[in-house]
Amino acid sequence: MAEFLYKGDLPDGLSLGPVVAIDSETMGLNIGRDRLCLVQLSGGDGHAHLVQMPMPGKHGRMEAPNLARLLADPDVLKLFHFGRFDIAVLKHHLGVLTAPVYCTKIASRLVRTYTDRHGLKDLARETIGVDLSKQQQSSDWGAETLTPEQMTYAASDVLYLHAIKAKLDVALEREGRTELAQAIFRFLPHRADLDLIGWPGDIFEH
């Protein structure tokens, strides 16, 4: 297992395969106020690739063309946990809508209907027996130099998503909800768009 740290963008020519787990770290949870600091990626091979994002330019956008190209690649499935937030953050800062996508939190809600615990820590513990530490969840991700603890935490958010997805796919098939999940995943980038324009509440409510 290795962690690779890059400044500003993914390196030229890096291929992470057909399914890439992605997560992001920001200065806070207000997309319009809090900048994107770090993007973590893994191809499911036990390695994590961490990109410290550049400061926004004069138009408020970040320039990371290799990362943006990956996010928009129709032949690469982007794997998230609570993708709604990450997809919105990535579009706000990079100007690209991420697709196609898969969200383990949504898949969990569709099949683990016996619980209301759908956070990554609980999901990882139940599905693959991994106990994730969330100690560094609230820390200064905008620091110029990340601590080893921050890097380990950031990597852990993507290193296990492929294995979790495999377990959830079996459960989705067993419960007859695979097609429903896929339909929700197709809509998810548009749900992120609604968040970006400040759409209140649930558009499907009465």
CATH label, 2-196, candidates 2.60.120.10, 3.30.420.10, 1.20.1250.20, 3.40.718.10: 3.30.420.10
Q: Give the model's pLDDT for residue 160.
A: 97
Q: How confident is the model at residue 198 (pLDDT cuts 50, 70, 90)?
A: very high
Measure the CA–CA gap between 51 and 18, rounded to whole angstroms: 19
Please give the order of strands across the beta sheet that includes 77-80: 2-7, 47-52, 36-42, 19-26, 77-80, 101-103
Q: What is the pLDDT of residue 1?
A: 74
Segment 50-105, tens digit of pLDDT: 999 988 877 778 999 999 999 999 999 999 999 999 999 999 999 999 999 999 99
pLDDT confidence of 206, banded at 50, 70, 90? confident
Query: What are 101-159's pLDDT values in tens digits?
Result: 999 999 999 999 999 999 999 999 999 999 987 665 678 999 999 999 999 999 999 99
Per-domain residue ranges for the chain? 2-196
Residues shown for the chain: 206
Distance CA 130, CA 153 (A): 13
Find, among 86, 32, 44, the residue nearest to 197 by Cα.
Answer: 32
pLDDT score, position 137:
64
